[in-house]
Amino acid sequence: MFGLPPSIDQLRAQAAAGPVVSFIVSVHCSAALVPTAHNVTAVTLPGLTPDALNEQINAFHTALNDVHGAQGGRAANKVLTETLAWLWDQAAAPVVHQLGYRSAPAADGRPWPRVWWVTGGQLGLLPLHAAGHHDDPPSPERRSVADRVVSSHTPTVRALGHARRARPAPAMAATSSLIVAMPTTPDLPAALQGAPLHHVPDEARRLAAILPHPLTLTGPVPAMLARPEDLAGAPPAEAPTRRRVLAELPNHAITHFACHGTSDPEDPSKSRLLLNDHRDQPLTVSSLAPINLDRAQLAYLSACNTAANTAGALLDEAIHLAGAFQLAGFPHVIGTLWPIDDEFAVDVATGFYTALRDDDGAMDTDRASIALHLTLRTLIREQDLNATPWLWAPYIHAGA
């Protein structure tokens, strides 16, 4: 019946492709509920107390705010990495060890194991997929989630079931795509004033060369952000508006947004992607509800805070843009937990879509979770980013 929690059989059914892990944090007893295809196990977590969790959340988000400061960068990164180590010790490691994932998968071509993290509540304010001791030297026994499993997120077990029901037939290839790019945004909120996204034009150009049959909607690119050849005789660009974007969403398998995003701390249903007419016609969580998205396969929200819910009274609701796109009909969504660096975002998006291609060169959106996983691992290794988790850890895969 509506409103009741899933039955044991329903939990096991959703765990057929990999464990679906939910957490209970309580002064009485904290634990992880770990359904697999065969059984349901409770893993006790004595160190995951409400007080300890709140302390780590506060330290982590204070460090995120400080990380860009001239004096706070190194100290803030130290706090972030210490929090991720604590998260591994007290929450993630007991779960992955219970599941038998005590070392990295063998490099023999077999698929990586997958885990879905149910991220409602207080624990959703920390990046479980990024938990680990990132100062460990490389080895098969390195203590981190990303060295053991591919992570996906879902607001609830029922939302995961909805995403799976929404999946197109496996033989349906992604044959068209929509790119929505906003290098500059009119009427920015005060917190974002003076913040053009300098690398969005490059992101849109690169993706237009990778994605199948792309339609790009973008506002005029100022001279300071454009290449000279883009300004010579280029036709006028069509600025993305809510009406045009909502009209185009049903026509494309893949939709990529490269723009500003905001998370409303009081009413998360008002969280929005900032398009050309965001002041009068905002593209909010709630505006997605009436859209029919039978063809939709993947939404990539390359914007700040698109998977963030900071409304303290509504943390269990997991209301945010990534969740809204998932519930609207996108089986796969790439979102972000906090503000992202727009230059690094170009590398993530380019690597992700490149990794999304199958052996025949077609876009296989069911590869979304492993494509993001491998892209971030490659960038961390190539750019030596273990000590700067604020750059790579905000990116998550949500859905099937």
Alpha-carbon gap, residue 115 to 119, rounded angstroms: 12
Give the pLDDT confidence of 12-35 residue by residue, as tens digits.
777 778 899 999 999 999 999 998
Average pLDDT, whole number, for the chain? 87
Beta-strand relationship, 332-336 and 395-399: antiparallel
Q: What pLDDT shows up at residue 109?
A: 76
pLDDT at residue 187, rounded to an integer = 84
> Over the chain, what HEC string results?
CCCCCCCHHHHHHHCCCCCEEEEECCCCCCEEEEECCCCEEEEECCCCCHHHHHHHHHHHHHHHHHCCCCCCHHHHHHHHHHHHHHHHHHHHHHHHHHCCCCCCCCCCCCCCCEEEEECCCHHHHCCHHHCECCCCCCCCCCCEHHHCCEEEEECCHHHHHHHHHCCCCCCCCCCCEEEEECCCCCCCCHHHCCCCCCCHHHHHHHHHCCCCCEEEEECCCCHHHCCHHHHCCCCCCCCCCHHHHHHHHHHCCEEEEECCEECCCCCHHHCEECCCCCCCCCEECHHHCCCCCCCCCEEEEECCCCCCCCCHHHHHHCCCHHHHHHHHCCCEEEEECCCCCHHHHHHHHHHHHHHCECCCCCECHHHHHHHHHHHHHHHHHHHCCCCCHHHHCCEEEEEC
Report d(CA 308, CA 315) in Å as an integer: 10
Cα-Cα-Cα-Cα torsion 341, 65, 94, 105, nearest 10 degrees, comes to 10
Instruction: Return d(Cα 2, Cα 13) in angstroms, integer.
Output: 18
Antiparallel, parallel or unpaired: β 298-302 and 214-218: unpaired
Average pLDDT over residues 316-325: 74
Q: How confident is the model at residue 2 (pLDDT cuts 50, 70, 90)?
A: very low
Alpha-carbon distance of 46 to 51, in angstroms, equals 12
Structure tokens at 147: 């060295």
Q: For residue 1, is pLDDT > 50?
A: no
pLDDT digits (tens, 9 = 90+) for 120-173: 788 889 999 999 999 999 899 999 999 999 999 988 887 788 777 766 554 456
pLDDT of residue 232: 42
Q: What residues contact residue 323 under an 8 Å CB cut-off, 6+ apart?
A: 155, 159, 285, 307, 333, 398
Global confidence as pTM: 0.91
pLDDT digits (tens, 9 = 90+) for 338-389: 999 999 999 999 999 999 998 888 899 999 999 999 999 999 999 999 999 9
Query: What's the confidence (pLDDT) of residue 23?
Result: 94
Q: Which residue has the higher pLDDT, 1 or 390?
A: 390
Q: For residues 71 and 63, which has the higher predicted lDDT (pLDDT)?
A: 63
Averaged over 299-324, what is the pLDDT? 75
Does 236 or 109 have the greater pLDDT score?
109
7: pLDDT confidence band, cut at 50, 70 and 90? Answer: confident
C-beta separation of 335 from 321 below 8 A: yes
Q: What is the mean predicted confidence (pLDDT) over 190-212?
A: 87
Cβ atoms of residues 398 and 335 within 8 Å: yes
Rg (CA), the chain: 20
Q: What domains does the chain contain, in order, with CATH numbers?
A: 8-154 (3.30.420), 171-399 (3.40.50.1460)
For residues 185 and 239, give the distance between their C-alpha atoms in angstroms, rounded to a whole number.
10
Helix axes 368-383, 342-355, angle to 10 degrees: 130
